[in-house]
Structure 1
Amino acid sequence: MTDPTAAAGSTRWAWLRGHRGMFLGFAAIHAGLVLNAIPLRVVFGAQPFSGPDYQTHFQHTHTLTRALAEGRLWVYDPMMLAGYPAGLFFDVDNKAHFLFCTVLHRLGLPLTMAFNLYTLVSAIAMPISLTLAARLLGVSARSQAWTFGLGVLLWHFESLIRFFWGGGMISFATVSHLCVLVLALFWRQLGAAPARGGWAALLVLLPLTLLTHVWSFAALAGPMIGLYVARARGLALAGHARVWGLAALTIAVNAYWLWPALTHMELMAPSHKLGQATPAFFFYDLLEVFVDPLTTGFVRQRTFVRTIAVLAAIGTLLAWRRTREPALGFAGGTLAWLFGLSYIGALLPLVPATEPYRFAAPMACWAAVLAGPWLADNLTRRTWSQIPAGLRGLAIGLLVLLAPRVYAQLATFLPGVDVSPMGFLKSVVQEEQFFPSMRLKPISDDFQEVAAWVAAQPDEGRFLVHYWALGEYLRWATDRPILGGFPDRRTIHEQANLFHWLDSDERYNEGLERYLQTFNVAYVLMSVPHIPAIERRLDLLEPRGIVGGRYRAYRVRKPAGYLVRGSARVEAGLGRIAVSAAKPAPGTQELVLRFHWLQELRCRSEVANIDCQIEREPVEGDETGFIRVVGGPTLPAEFVLEQGP
């Protein structure tokens, strides 16, 4: 007779051993790793995350939240870089993050919490996005479980993806998995069996993906256009209408930021500095050889999970070729497209502006979707039993040789964890300060001490800040005028930043005095690396000690003031500059301010029957130029410069 209890127990254990059990196990691992890397006490704390790029994006969010309250989608910010258009170019990788924060903030959540929650949501969604993409491609439930697991490993242990969300480039980390879902859904909708509600989902997801990061366009365009062209003849009129309607809606949703950006292209400064990988970097990544942080963005390469995903994806494509799976062409073409962008894009026209190495992240995510079927078919007891006995020892030996690489992935990204008896890789764990992505933290004490020092200084001029993340932080934390911030802002206004790039600059030497005067620098905050050419100029700079335990503070001995010609009292705030007690330069009815000119600025006189106009004043070494105010017929004693329509 059969024992019912034993049968029930056997069924229960079979359920756990199946794909549902795999999902459960991977989900538990993911939850633990997320809570370790993104502590809830930090998410719901009073400070935004402290990663370098998080400071840039929170500064954008903080600034544009204030601008939106005044009805502006972008704003002239006279307190950064001597005046620049915030929200016009540089935050095209922060639009969805900003909207997410805006909605939650208006619902009553503190802005910092809303900002931090975005990363937590993206982290949770990563393996889910990949799994849904795998399901849309029609693979088995067990294959989907393996894709889910690879998604977990990629998010936590792949160096590029971890660098993105750990350092603050959360928007591209997010589109790396959103793009995969959009591509799979688009393929499904143009196939023979569209998913119910699939077009509606695309109408939400595709515009959202472009809002999340503008360069998602490059990842999506090739595969989506290629698929549409390939399927065009077989589509009914309604199918064509859906595709073009999807494109039109995507443009319309993004038009509110796209149109202002396109109409101000003369202010853009394209850069090919970061993420410029050549084909050789494929081999560097394969061997986990670190070459250039400006390309790969990390001080150690950890690409083992990416490599496994790509190899398994190739295995799936070969199997699909034998069985003539419908998804073969699109799946292989998309993988090739993302691979080409990552390792060949820097050699092509236009593509270098996208920092193309970044596309290795969505490539890894797409590979994880394709890898599931091969892993499901081959990582089984049956496969192991089919290996000849003579080769099993070799297989075990290869696995043993891979163990150090597996350990390196774990040790690098799990600070405080050292499972090796001898601790031979303990140094990797102890070097957490070199890795911005180990565990997300709130603003550090040294930053807050610097902010307190800055706020206590007399308002004599601008603060030139060497470390760019500190510059971004000080802009939102103190509301004092800053020259600094992220060095690759893609706008000509960044020329006001002496530390735009740490290459040799004549302004570090003979041109330093003219630079300090031109931009009315009153204080300088230096960090590492040391730039002796600047710090030895004690004829210009007065040492003020160490601030925050590590930043060397200097006061400029003779601040130039905010006026090039004429005299006045100046008070600057977001979107406006108020001028009082104005006196024109001798022999003229004009005065020149050391603030960047912007075409949208308008002069509003506070004196009856006297008008004023704004003109551009050329400045040597600065393409933007300063603001010249001309009176009509005489210069008003009080006026306000405001951003017009």
Structure 2
Amino acid sequence: MTDPSAAAASTRWAWLRGHRGMFVGFAAVHAALVLNSIPLRVVFGAQPFGGPDYQTHFQHTHTLTRALAEGRLWVYDPMMLAGYPAGLFFDVDNKAHFLFCTVLHRLGVPLATAFNLFTLVSAIAMPISLWLAARLFGVSAKAQAWTFGLGVLLWHFESLIRFFWGGGMISFATASHLCVLVLALFWRQLGASPVRGGWVALLVLLPLALLTHVWSFAALAGPMIGLYLARARGLALAGHARVWALAALTVAVNSYWLWPALTHMELMAPSHKLGQATPDFFFYDLLEVFVDPLTTGFVRQRTLVRTVAVLAAIGTLVAWRRARAPALRFAGGTLLWLFGLSYVGALLPLVPATEPYRFAAPMACWAAVLAGPWLADNLTRKTWSQVPASLRGLAIGLLVLLAPRVYAQLATFLPGVDVSPMGFLQSAVLEEQFFPSMRLRPISDDFQEVAQWVRAQPDDGRILVHYWALGEYLRWATDRPILGGFPDRRTIHEQANLFHWTDSDERYGDGLERYLQTFNVAYVLMSVPHIPAIERRLDLLEPRGIVGGRYRAYRVRRPSGYAARGSAEVKAGLGRLAVTAAKPAPGTEELVLRFHWLAELRCRSGVPNVDCRVEREPVEGDETGFIRVVGAPTLPAEFVLEQGR
């Protein structure tokens, strides 16, 4: 006779051993790791995350939230880089994040909390996106579970993806898994068995992917266009209409930021500085060899999970080729496209502007979707039982040799696991400098101390900030005029930043005095590495001690004021400059202000029957030029420069 209780217990254990148990296990691990790395007390605290790029994006969010309240989608910000167009170019990787924050903020959520929640939502969604993509390919439930698990491991233990969301490049981390879902859904909708509501989902997800990060276009364009061309002959008229409607809606949704950017291309400064991996970096990644932080963005390479995903994906493609699976060409072509962008894109025209190594992240996510079937078929007891006894020892030996690499993944990304002296040194110094930590934290105390010091100083000139993340923070935290911030803003206005990607700059030497005068620098905040050519110029700089425990503060001995020719008092705000006590340069009716010119600026006189206009004043070493105000017929003593609508 059969024991009913034993049969029930056996059924429960079978459930736990099956794909449902795998999902539960992976989900539990994911929840624990998310709560460990993204503490809820920080998410719902009073401050945004303290990572370097988080400061850049929160500064954008903070500035554009104020601009949107005035009805502006982008705004002339005279408090950054002597005046630059915020929201025009540099935040095209922050649009969805900003909209997310805007909606929540208007619902009563504090702006910093709304900003932090985006990262938490993306973290939770990562394995779900990959799982849904795997479902769309119609693979087995067990294969879907393996894909879900790989999504968990990639988010937490793959160095490039972890660098993205750990340091603040959360938008591309989000786009990496969102693009995978879009590609799988598009393939399904152009196939023989489209899912109900799939086109509606695409009408939401594709525009959202572009809003999340502009370079989603590069990841999506090749595979989607290729698939459409391959299926074009077999599509009915309605199918063609759906595809073109999808493209049109995507452009329409993104046109509110795309059109202003395209109409101001003369202000753009393309850069090929970051993420320029060449084919040899594939082998560096395979062996986890760290070469260049400007390319891979990390002080230690941890690519084991990515490598496993890619190798297993290749195994799946081989099996699909034998079975003549309908997804073979699209799945393999997409993997090849993303691989090519990552490791060959730097050698092609135009692609270097996208920082192409970044596409290794969506490549890893796509590989995880394809890897599930191979892992489900081969990581089984049956497969192990089929390994010849003579080879089992070799297999176990290889697994033992792999153990240190597994440990390295855990030690790098779980605080407290790496207790070696070198591990402690890298965690305490390198990781603190280049990305905040393996656990997201709020604004550091040293930043807050610097902000307090800045607020206590007279507001009579700009503050030149060496460490770019501190510059971004001070812009939103103090509302003081800053020269600094992220050094690769893709706009010509960044030439006002002395620390804009310069290995050697004549302004560090004999040109330093002219630079300080040109941009009315009143204070300088220096960090590591030291630049003796600047800090030894005590004829120009007066030391004011150490601020925040690590930043060396200097007062410029002779600030030049905001008027380059003539004299005036200037009060700056978003989209406007209010000028009082204006006096023209001798023999003219002109006043030149040390603020960047913008074609949209208009002059509104505060004196009856006296008009004024804005012209561009050329400045040596600065393509943008400054503002020249010309009186008609005489220079008004009071006027306002405002950004036209």
> Smaller-chain TM-score range?
over 0.9
Distance 1:63 1:418 in 2: 39
Relative to structure 1, is the Cα distance of residues 107 and 466 closer, same or farther in structure 2, using a 3 angstrom cutoff? same
User: 1:437: Cα distance to partner?
Assistant: 4.4
Distance 1:641 1:414 in 2: 52
Distance 2:10 2:293 in 1: 52
Question: What SS is found at the alignment partner of 1:424?
Answer: helix
Relative to structure 1, is the Cα distance of residues 337 and 428 closer, same or farther in structure 2, using a 3 angstrom cutoff? farther
Asked whether the 8 Å contact 1:136–1:188 carries over to 2, the reply is: yes
User: 1:501: Cα distance to partner?
Assistant: 1.3
Asked whether the 8 Å contact 1:465–1:485 carries over to 2, the reply is: yes
Distance 1:357 1:290 in 2: 14
Question: What SS is found at the alignment partner of 1:609?
Answer: coil
Distance 1:462 1:409 in 2: 44
Deviations 1:6-49 (A, max 9, x none): 11111111111100000000000000000000000000000000
Relative to structure 1, is the Cα distance of residues 426 and 83 closer, same or farther in structure 2, using a 3 angstrom cutoff? closer
Distance 2:223 2:439 in 1: 35
Asked whether the 8 Å contact 1:417–1:429 carries over to 2, the reply is: no
- The match for 2:17 is 17
Asked whether the 8 Å contact 1:416–1:429 carries over to 2, the reply is: no
Asked whether the 8 Å contact 2:80–2:483 carries over to 1, the reply is: yes
Question: What SS is found at the alignment partner of 1:172?
Answer: helix
Asked whether the 8 Å contact 1:299–1:435 carries over to 2, the reply is: no
User: 1:502: Cα distance to partner?
Assistant: 4.0
Distance 1:94 1:426 in 2: 30
Distance 1:181 1:527 in 2: 42
Relative to structure 1, is the Cα distance of residues 532 and 427 closer, same or farther in structure 2, using a 3 angstrom cutoff? closer
Asked whether the 8 Å contact 2:312–2:375 carries over to 1, the reply is: yes
User: 1:333: Cα distance to partner?
Assistant: 0.1
User: 1:516: Cα distance to partner?
Assistant: 0.2
User: 1:413: Cα distance to partner?
Assistant: 0.3
Distance 1:119 1:569 in 2: 42
Asked whether the 8 Å contact 2:619–2:625 carries over to 1, the reply is: yes
Asked whether the 8 Å contact 1:415–1:429 carries over to 2, the reply is: no
Deviations 1:326-353 (A, max 9, x none): 0000000000000000000000000000
Asked whether the 8 Å contact 2:48–2:58 carries over to 1, the reply is: yes
User: 1:356: Cα distance to partner?
Assistant: 0.1
Question: What SS is found at the alignment partner of 1:626?
Answer: strand
The 5-angstrom pairing of residues 163-242 of structure 1 reads: 163-242=163-242
Deviations 1:548-586 (A, max 9, x none): 000000000000000011111110011100000111111
Distance 2:428 2:488 in 1: 30
Asked whether the 8 Å contact 2:462–2:481 carries over to 1, the reply is: yes
User: 1:605: Cα distance to partner?
Assistant: 0.3
Distance 1:427 1:467 in 2: 19
**Number of aligned residues:** 645
Distance 1:576 1:265 in 2: 22
Distance 1:430 1:162 in 2: 15
Distance 1:541 1:624 in 2: 27
Unaligned runs of 5+ in 1: none
Asked whether the 8 Å contact 2:569–2:582 carries over to 1, the reply is: yes
User: 1:424: Cα distance to partner?
Assistant: 11
Asked whether the 8 Å contact 2:81–2:496 carries over to 1, the reply is: yes
Asked whether the 8 Å contact 2:431–2:437 carries over to 1, the reply is: no
Asked whether the 8 Å contact 1:418–1:429 carries over to 2, the reply is: no
Asked whether the 8 Å contact 2:427–2:437 carries over to 1, the reply is: no
Deviations 1:138-197 (A, max 9, x none): 100000000000000000000000000000000000000000000000000000000110
Relative to structure 1, is the Cα distance of residues 30 and 429 closer, same or farther in structure 2, using a 3 angstrom cutoff? farther
- The match for 1:7 is 7
Asked whether the 8 Å contact 1:415–1:430 carries over to 2, the reply is: no
Asked whether the 8 Å contact 2:412–2:418 carries over to 1, the reply is: no
User: 1:383: Cα distance to partner?
Assistant: 0.2
Distance 2:299 2:421 in 1: 25
Distance 2:343 2:148 in 1: 26
- The match for 2:616 is 616
Question: What SS is found at the alignment partner of 2:528?
Answer: coil
User: 1:418: Cα distance to partner?
Assistant: 4.7
Range 425-434 or range 569-578, more displaced:
425-434
Question: What SS is found at the alignment partner of 2:424?
Answer: coil
The 5-angstrom pairing of residues 6-45 of structure 1 reads: 6-45=6-45
Where does structure 1 differ by over 2 angstroms across 4 or more consecutive aligned residues?
Answer: 417-437
User: 1:279: Cα distance to partner?
Assistant: 0.2
User: 1:509: Cα distance to partner?
Assistant: 0.3
Question: What SS is found at the alignment partner of 2:487?
Answer: coil
Distance 1:434 1:412 in 2: 14
Relative to structure 1, is the Cα distance of residues 551 and 419 closer, same or farther in structure 2, using a 3 angstrom cutoff? closer
Asked whether the 8 Å contact 1:411–1:428 carries over to 2, the reply is: no
Range 162-171 or range 501-510, more displaced:
501-510
Range 406-415 or range 423-432, more displaced:
423-432
Relative to structure 1, is the Cα distance of residues 267 and 421 closer, same or farther in structure 2, using a 3 angstrom cutoff? closer
- The match for 2:545 is 545
Relative to the length of structure 2, the TM-score reads: 0.98
Asked whether the 8 Å contact 1:606–1:636 carries over to 2, the reply is: yes
Relative to structure 1, is the Cα distance of residues 33 and 85 closer, same or farther in structure 2, using a 3 angstrom cutoff? same
Distance 2:260 2:451 in 1: 33
User: 1:251: Cα distance to partner?
Assistant: 0.1
Asked whether the 8 Å contact 1:412–1:428 carries over to 2, the reply is: no
User: 1:417: Cα distance to partner?
Assistant: 2.2
